[in-house]
Structure 1
Amino acid sequence: MILTYPLTTVSMRAAVKKEGTKSGVSGQLEAAIRIIKEEGIQGLYPGVQSAIFGIAFTQYIYYYWYEFVKATLEKAAGEGRGLTVTENLMGSAVAGAVTAVLTNPIWVVNTRQVVKKDGAKTSETSTFAQTVMTIMKSDGILGFWKGIWPALILVINPVIQYTVFERLKERLQRVRSNLTAFDFFILGAISKLAATGITYPYIVVKSRMQVAGGADDSTRYKSVLDGFKRIIKEEGIKGLYKGIESKIVQSVLTSAFLFAFKEELVGSAIGLLVLLRLRDPVSAVKGAASA
């Protein structure tokens, strides 16, 4: 999150801005340079604290519920039978839906911090508490669940990602059994590229719904379908893909780093456990017996 946050800032601001945003990689680069010029380097990191908290909380909720649903399905299936692909995807979808509902308030606050309202001082970024109070005043408690419907639809993003990742991993393992961190980096990048490319229009609608404040806000959409219709009518199909260049780079790098770091950390943890057991013969015997 920290490594790729500037790309998130550029992408989100482009996604919610209707006018004056150039398309393409050059447009995204120009936007980043303008942010640095007007706001300094810190302008690329508005709301980074809430994002770090949000991603940690999101991952915890997601994997907790995924393992809970998985264990429930395995118990229902009986011993000796693993879960099917459909059951795994169902577990991922349920976990994603619960996560979206529970964490949406965090991402609404983060979106408001990243995307400044017209007239706001470029050097100022509201704190988490200030943004919470602003949302409460303008939209009430329900304002924290703006964009929840596209967020629920975006549950398919990790489903697509992990499905593509596992299929590519299986095919690559047929060629060579020992995969390196670089292999996982590439697999993570390709799988996230596929997921982001398919679901990006929903990300645009969600961001605009989350940043909208007050009944007279022009970015307020009645529904996801209304959002699609109005964006296409006012900005054309390309309006659904504003900021996709930096978002794809950010998503791909995040996923790639995640899978690469994960494999390295797991490998290091296993190696450490082996060393500890070798230093303690009793634990080694017990470990062998339990295995």
Structure 2
Amino acid sequence: MRNENATAGAAAAAGFTAVVVMHPLDVVRTRFQVNDGRVSHLPSYKNTAHAVFTITRSEGLRGLYAGFLPGVLGSSIAWGLYFFFYDKAKKRYARNSEGKLSPGFHLASAAEAGSLVCLCTNPVWLVKTRLQLQTPIHQIRPYSGLYDAFRTIMREEGVSALYKGIVPSLFLVSVGAIQITAYEQLRKVVVDFKSKRITIHNQNPDKLLNSAYYAVLGATSKLAAILLTYPFQVIRTRLQQRPSDDGVPRYMGTWHVVKETARFEGVRGYYKGITANLLRNAPASSIIFIVYENVLKYLKPSRRND
């Protein structure tokens, strides 16, 4: 049985690697998500490539890596905690089901882990979003960094502001639940197929799969999760925007975002930035599972096929 500390360490390393490589696309996605055509302090981009070019030209690499510190901190913590809680939940369910975990138990374990991680990391994601939305034409005094952002938010809006977007965030727990369940089931199918094909019995599954398999499985499972849940990401990002100069939030709550987006933008509004999101998350998910699986092999040579 895998060691929880090894699992958490592998996941944290995977999360860090993915953020370093893919963060510029995260900035582009965030700016697309909040741009409803009625925001004056945000530049307008034609598409993902134009956004990257425009940000690089007007803001430099610093613009492409806005919010990087909370992004890398949040991702490393989130993935580490996620797999730690996930393994704990799986072990608990396994004791009650004679060691056999059905897809339903994998889903329940992933949902439980995601909810706990969401409550722990929402303040970090809120700060990341706000730092990513700061541009040279921003009309409010910009945050100077991670610490200044936390301090200013708590002073001007109160501690409760750190949990803006928590409702759609909890709905977005399904992203991790869907992804990890799909990954586990696809992984099991591939291992079973390869085991039968090469007629090796009781073979450690780590010997049957390599980084190419982890990349494909990670990207495929992430794609399914994104397509099903993306509107919640848009809703959360719009809720997490910084209030205007007079302290009034652009959106008052989840239902307000839903109504206003439908009214002014239609269904398309709920999928703004999805191209950048797919370009970021499919490769990022591949990177995460490649690093996670290989670091786990290094830290813990034997892996139980559960």
Distance 2:138 2:242 in 1: 15
The 1:121/1:39 distance shift into structure 2, 3 A limit, reads: farther
Could you tell me which residue of structure 2 aligns to residue 167 of structure 1?
Answer: 185
Structure 1 residue 125: Cα displacement? 6.0
- The structure that has the greater radius of gyration is 1
The 1:240/1:58 distance shift into structure 2, 3 A limit, reads: same
2:89 matched to 1:69?
A: yes
Could you tell me which residue of structure 1 aligns to residue 54 of structure 2?
Answer: 34
Number of equivalent positions: 264
The structure 2 residue matched to 1:58, chosen from 48, 67, 78, is 78
Structure 1 residue 109: Cα displacement? 0.9
The structure 1 residue matched to 2:248, chosen from 212, 216, 223, is 216
Please tell me whether the aligned partners of residues 169 and 187 of structure 1 are also in contact (alpha carbons under 8 angstroms).
yes
The 1:118/1:153 distance shift into structure 2, 3 A limit, reads: farther
Deviations 1:69-98 (A, max 9, x none): 3333334x17x4333322221121111111
More contact order relative to length (CA 8 Å, sep ≥ 6): 2
The structure 1 residue matched to 2:130, chosen from 92, 96, 112, is 112
Greater fraction of residues in helix = 1
The 1:30/1:125 distance shift into structure 2, 3 A limit, reads: farther
Could you tell me which residue of structure 2 aligns to residue 134 of structure 1?
Answer: 152
**Residues 236-245 or 12-21, more deviating:** 12-21
Structure 1 residue 4: Cα displacement? 0.4
Please tell me whether the aligned partners of residues 70 and 128 of structure 2 are also in contact (alpha carbons under 8 angstroms).
yes
The TM-score normalised by the length of structure 1 is 0.83
Structure 1 residue 144: Cα displacement? 0.2
Could you tell me which residue of structure 2 aligns to residue 278 of structure 1?
Answer: none
Give unpaired runs (5+ residues) of structure 2. 1-18, 38-42, 196-207
Q: Percent identity?
A: 28
Distance 2:296 2:112 in 1: 26
Structure 1 residue 189: Cα displacement? 0.7
Give unpaired runs (5+ residues) of structure 1. 274-291
2:48 matched to 1:18?
A: no
Q: RMSD across aligned C-alpha pairs, in angstroms?
A: 2.4
Structure 1 residue 174: Cα displacement? 4.2
Deviations 1:126-160 (A, max 9, x none): 20111112212332110000000000000000111
